[in-house]
């Protein structure tokens, strides 16, 4: 059997070096764990702060969009309904019991005409707020309807495709519809696109909505106004528990994919 004491000093040194090496290694390991743990905590804290900031941005975007929506509705009510009501009031004031029948008939016809216009405008405003098609026939029908209306306006071709007729939760349908509205709005305002492809699909319990335009695209970090639109979309999608993926760069159009579980 080998007897260490009889071995040369070189081997004994090696033995001792091994022991001291292991002790030093274990001390280094403890220090490493403490430092590494602190670093992970710091990264975790940074990630949480970024997440909080992002959530705050989404909240601000949602509030801003809500305010913009309120301003638009107020504008519509004031400009369309308000002015028409004032005009009706003016006409009705002219109605007098002792006035000639022809004059009163003319005033009544004018008032009725204004009321008809008012009914149409009210229908348009409510349709914009929540289209009846969406409520009655679902997202697919409402999206198709919107695509058709944009197609009819000319200047841009919208292709719509849906391979599912499953109805989602009403809140989810409204959210996706608003996303589609916002995307159309952005494309028509800024993108100078010629074609838009909208597709809705479902695989098992995963619902997907894809919007793609061939417009000029943008750098999401550089363009603040479009960035706000995208944040609004992201806010809506996150509220319904969905995932949003947007791909865009200057000259390469925009593709937005929304996925969510049904």
Partner 1 sequence: MIDYLYNPDFWALEWTWRSVSRKTLLLPIIVALITGHFRHPVHLKIIFFSGYSLLMEHCSTDNDLKNLFNDETNSPWYHLLTPVLFFLLTRFFSEYLDHGKYRFLRWLLPLAFLILVILNIISEGGLEVFPSKIVGLYSIAGIILSVGYFLYLLRTLTDYYIERKPMFWVSSGLLIYFAGNFLLWIGLNFITYDRDFFYSIYRINSIVTVLLYVFFTIAIFLNPHDENKHRSPN
* Residues within the interface to partner 1 (CB under 8 A): 1-6, 9, 12-13, 15-19, 22-23, 25-27, 29-30, 33-34, 36-38, 40-41, 44-45
Exposure string for 203-240, b = 16+ CB within 10 A, e = fewer: eeeebbbbbbbbbebbebeeeeebbbbbbbbbbbbbeb
Is residue 160 within 8 Å of residue 198, measured between CB atoms?
A: yes
Q: What is the C-alpha to C-alpha distance for residues 211 and 197, in angstroms, rounded to an integer? A: 6
Exposure string for 49-67, b = 16+ CB within 10 A, e = fewer: eeeeeeeeebeebbeebee
β-strands 195-203, 243-248 pairing:
unpaired
Q: What is the C-alpha to C-alpha distance for residues 58 and 86, in angstroms, rounded to an integer? A: 40
Contacts of 8 (CB under 8 A, 6+ apart): none
Q: Return left, alpha or beta for 155; rule: phi > 0 is left, psi -120 to 50 is alpha, else beta.
A: left
Q: What is the C-alpha to C-alpha distance for residues 27 and 40, in angstroms, rounded to an integer? A: 20
β-strands 157-162, 254-261 pairing:
unpaired
CA angle 207, 126, 150 (to 5 degrees): 60
Q: Return left, alpha or beta for 125; rule: phi > 0 is left, psi -120 to 50 is alpha, else beta.
A: alpha
Closest approach, Cβ 193 to partner 1, in A, equals 46
Closest approach, Cβ 52 to partner 1, in A, equals 11
């Amino acid at each position: 059997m080998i007897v260490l004491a009889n071995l040369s000093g070189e081997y004994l040194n090696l033995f001792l070096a091994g022991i001291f090496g292991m002790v030093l290694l274990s001390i280094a390991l403890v220090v490493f764990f403490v430092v590494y743990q602190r670093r992970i905590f710091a990264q975790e804290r940074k990630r949480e702060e970024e997440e909080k900031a992002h959530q705050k941005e989404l909240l601000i975007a949602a509030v801003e969009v809500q305010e913009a929506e309120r301003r638009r509705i107020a504008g519509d009510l004031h400009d369309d309904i308000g002015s028409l009501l004032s005009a009706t009031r003016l006409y009705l004031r002219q109605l007098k019991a002792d006035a000639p029948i022809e004059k009163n008939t003319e005033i009544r016809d004018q008032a009725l005409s204004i009321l008809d216009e008012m009914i149409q405008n009210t229908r348009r405003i409510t349709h914009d707020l929540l289209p009846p098609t969406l409520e009655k026939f679902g997202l697919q029908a409402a999206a198709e309807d919107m695509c058709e209306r944009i197609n009819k306006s000319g200047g841009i071709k919208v292709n719509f495709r849906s391979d599912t007729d499953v109805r989602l939760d009403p809140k989810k349908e409204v959210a996706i519809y608003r996303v589609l509205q916002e995307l159309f709005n952005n494309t028509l305002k800024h993108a100078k696109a010629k074609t838009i492809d909208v597709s809705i699909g479902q695989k098992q319990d995963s619902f997907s909505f894809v919007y793609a335009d061939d417009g000029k695209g943008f750098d999401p970090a550089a363009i603040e106004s479009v960035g706000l639109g995208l944040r609004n979309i992201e806010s809506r999608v996150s509220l319904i528990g969905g995932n949003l993926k947007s791909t865009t760069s200057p000259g390469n159009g925009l593709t937005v994919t929304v996925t969510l579980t049904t």
